[in-house]
């Protein structure tokens, strides 16, 4: 149900991941989070990294905070977005060297950066019945939330996207694997919601990547059914978001050709969530009108106004223009301002990520002013802090 973003027109946030501080060199390396947190150097670096991420988001003036996906190991192209879950679920074992099941057209040819990224997607085999294991999402969220009074959302890979990276040696087919993973994640996410997490973001259904491309065995309708199994019961307890984008590993779009959301929107509209997020910055906002038309008014829409794929920091005026265009088809009480995807998958420095967050809130403030809405306090843009006059 809508709680965090209820009655908050133009709420601002980021998708999730942030670049790691350079001094954060410890990694989980397959350990349960709670075990790693008994090691002095990991605990100190992890908690200090959270403090840095929260400080940056506060100085940028964002409303809703992320833990920056600090649990993710420092590996190639954001492998650990898959790896964190894959290395902790029961029923998975060993490591498979292979490309995984992906609908991407970018990953088939040596000489392409995605070819090398996919080479490092070394993930376990599915060898038995899947169950929760040591995911410990509740621990991870609590350790973050206890460091700030601001609301911290929890985001994690969807079961159906995780399934694309696993080598299935146990279930009869992809559908059975996806459904088993969806049920398992559902139990973990319900425990997280029961522990008080106010906002859960499921990241990347496989729908927009596969509909019309690779949907013979796993149809759009099946992916909707599996996703809704994954989130079953959550909306009675917490606010549920579904994040979508066109790829992030090493800041890449995972397709060679431009892809569009349009064929997937009817499926997205059937997802049992409160908020849908869409890329709008990297695509120049050319599908904003479709989002407004295709998505039922009972759902809120979060648009990316900042690209995770470019190092050029957006101007606040560009951000404001994109928001003004979105407002022509989505009213302010339904519109959330975010980024196309996370900043932390080997794409950019902390400096870039920070000023992109500041551009997001400065641009949103321009529109808030026009609408008579209260503006965010952006400490980073306060001239009193400037060293040069
Ligand atoms: Zn994304």
Q: Which residue has the tokens 């200090």?
A: 48
245 alpha carbon – ligand 1 mean position (Å): 4
pLDDT beyond 80 at 27: yes
The per-residue pLDDT for 100 is 66
- Return the sign of the alpha-carbon dihedral for residues 185, 190, 192, 198: positive
124 alpha carbon – ligand 1 mean position (Å): 22
Lowest-confidence segment of 90-99, 164-173, 286-295 by average pLDDT: 90-99
195 alpha carbon – ligand 1 mean position (Å): 26
Report, as an integer, the average pLDDT of 209-231. 91
Report, as an integer, the average pLDDT of 18-43. 98
- Cα 255 to Cα 32, 103, 158: the distances in Å are 34, 9, 20
Q: Counting runs of H as helices and runs of E as strands, what totals does the chain give?
A: 13, 11
The per-residue pLDDT for 195 is 98
289 alpha carbon – ligand 1 mean position (Å): 21
The per-residue pLDDT for 255 is 82
With beta carbons less than 8 A apart as the criterion, state whether 182 and 227 touch.
yes
278 alpha carbon – ligand 1 mean position (Å): 9
Report, as an integer, the average pLDDT of 102-128. 84
| Torsion region of 129: left, alpha or beta (phi above 0 gives left; psi -120 to 50 gives alpha) | beta
372 alpha carbon – ligand 1 mean position (Å): 32
326 or 112, higher pLDDT: 326
- CA distance linking residue 196 with residue 142, whole number of Å: 9
40 alpha carbon – ligand 1 mean position (Å): 32
pLDDT beyond 80 at 26: yes
Q: Is 128 helix (H, G, I), strand (E, B) or coil?
A: strand
389 alpha carbon – ligand 1 mean position (Å): 39
The per-residue pLDDT for 101 is 64
Helix axes 350-371, 316-327, angle to 10 degrees: 50
Report, as an integer, the average pLDDT of 4-20. 98
Its pTM stands at 0.97
Phi and psi angles of residue 275, each rounded to the nearest 5 degrees, phi first? -135, 135
39 alpha carbon – ligand 1 mean position (Å): 31
383 alpha carbon – ligand 1 mean position (Å): 34
**Closest alpha carbon to 232 in 278, 193, 268:** 193
Report, as an integer, the average pLDDT of 19-38. 98
**Closest alpha carbon to 357 in 5, 6, 15, 9:** 15
Strand partners, 278: 303
For the chain, the first-to-last Cα distance in angstroms comes to 47
The per-residue pLDDT for 291 is 97
With beta carbons less than 8 A apart as the criterion, state whether 2 and 239 touch.
yes
Q: Kindly indicate the confidence band of residue 110, based on its pLDDT and cuts at 50, 70 and 90.
A: confident
- Tell me the per-residue pLDDT of 171-198, one tens digit each, with 9 for 90 and over: 999 999 999 999 999 999 999 999 999 9
340 alpha carbon – ligand 1 mean position (Å): 7
- CA distance linking residue 330 with residue 310, whole number of Å: 26
234 alpha carbon – ligand 1 mean position (Å): 21
The per-residue pLDDT for 106 is 72
- For 254-282, letters b (16+ CB in 10 Å) and e give bbeeebebeebbebbeebbbbbbbbbbbb
Chain center to CA of 127: 28
pLDDT beyond 90 at 236: yes
Q: Where are the beta strands (DSSP E) in 217-314?
A: 239-243, 275-278, 300-304
- CA distance linking residue 213 with residue 335, whole number of Å: 30
62 alpha carbon – ligand 1 mean position (Å): 19
Report, as an integer, the average pLDDT of 307-333. 98
Chain mean pLDDT for the chain: 95
68 alpha carbon – ligand 1 mean position (Å): 13
252 alpha carbon – ligand 1 mean position (Å): 11
38 alpha carbon – ligand 1 mean position (Å): 31
- Tell me the per-residue pLDDT of 255-285, one tens digit each, with 9 for 90 and over: 888 889 999 999 999 999 999 999 999 999 9
- CA distance linking residue 34 with residue 19, whole number of Å: 23
Helix axes 174-194, 220-230, angle to 10 degrees: 30
30 alpha carbon – ligand 1 mean position (Å): 23
Phi and psi angles of residue 229, each rounded to the nearest 5 degrees, phi first? -70, -40
| Torsion region of 77: left, alpha or beta (phi above 0 gives left; psi -120 to 50 gives alpha) | left
Q: Which residue has the tokens 């929760």?
A: 132
279 alpha carbon – ligand 1 mean position (Å): 8
The per-residue pLDDT for 64 is 98
Q: Which residue has the tokens 């995605």?
A: 114
154 alpha carbon – ligand 1 mean position (Å): 14
pLDDT beyond 70 at 104: no
- Tell me the per-residue pLDDT of 37-55, one tens digit each, with 9 for 90 and over: 999 999 999 999 999 999 9
41 alpha carbon – ligand 1 mean position (Å): 30
């Amino acid at each position: 149900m809508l709680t965090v973003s209820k009655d908050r027109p133009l709420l601002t946030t980021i998708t999730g991941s942030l670049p790691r501080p350079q001094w954060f060199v410890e990694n989980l390396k397959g350990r349960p989070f709670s075990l790693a947190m008994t090691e002095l150097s990991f605990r100190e670096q992890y908690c200090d990294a959270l403090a840095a991420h929260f400080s940056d988001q506060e100085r940028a003036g964002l409303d809703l905070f992320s833990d920056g996906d600090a649990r993710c190991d420092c590996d190639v192209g954001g492998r650990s977005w898959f790896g964190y879950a894959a290395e902790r679920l029961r029923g998975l074992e060993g490591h498979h060297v292979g490309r995984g099941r992906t609908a991407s057209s970018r990953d088939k040819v040596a000489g392409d950066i995605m070819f090398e990224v996919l080479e490092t997607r070394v993930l376990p085999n599915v060898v038995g019945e899947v169950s929760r294991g040591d995911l410990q999402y509740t621990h991870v969220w609590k350790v973050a939330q206890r460091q700030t009074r601001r609301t911290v959302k929890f985001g994690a890979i969807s079961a159906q996207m995780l399934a694309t990276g696993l080598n299935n040696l146990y279930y009869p087919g992809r559908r059975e694997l996806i459904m088993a993973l969806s049920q398992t994640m559902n139990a973990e996410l319900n425990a997280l919601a029961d522990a008080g997490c106010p906002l859960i973001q499921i990241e990347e259904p496989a729908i927009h990547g596969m509909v019309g491309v690779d949907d013979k065995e796993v149809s759009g309708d099946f992916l909707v059914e599996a996703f809704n199994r994954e989130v079953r019961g959550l909306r009675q307890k917490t606010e549920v978001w579904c994040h979508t984008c066109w790829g992030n590993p090493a800041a890449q779009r995972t397709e060679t050709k431009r892809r569009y959301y349009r064929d997937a929107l009817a499926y997205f509209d059937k997802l049992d969530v409160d908020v849908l997020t869409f890329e709008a910055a990297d695509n120049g906002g050319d599908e904003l009108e479709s989002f407004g038309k295709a998505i039922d008014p009972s759902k809120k829409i979060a648009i990316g106004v900042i690209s995770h794929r470019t190092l050029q920091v957006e101007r606040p005026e560009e951000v404001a223009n994109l928001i003004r265009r979105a407002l022509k088809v989505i009213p302010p009480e339904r519109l959330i301002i975010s980024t196309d995807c996370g900043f932390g998958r080997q794409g950019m420095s902390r400096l870039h990520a920070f000023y992109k967050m500041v551009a997001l809130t400065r641009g949103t403030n321009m529109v808030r002013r026009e609408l008579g809405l209260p503006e965010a306090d952006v400490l980073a843009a306060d001239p009193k802090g400037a060293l040069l006059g």
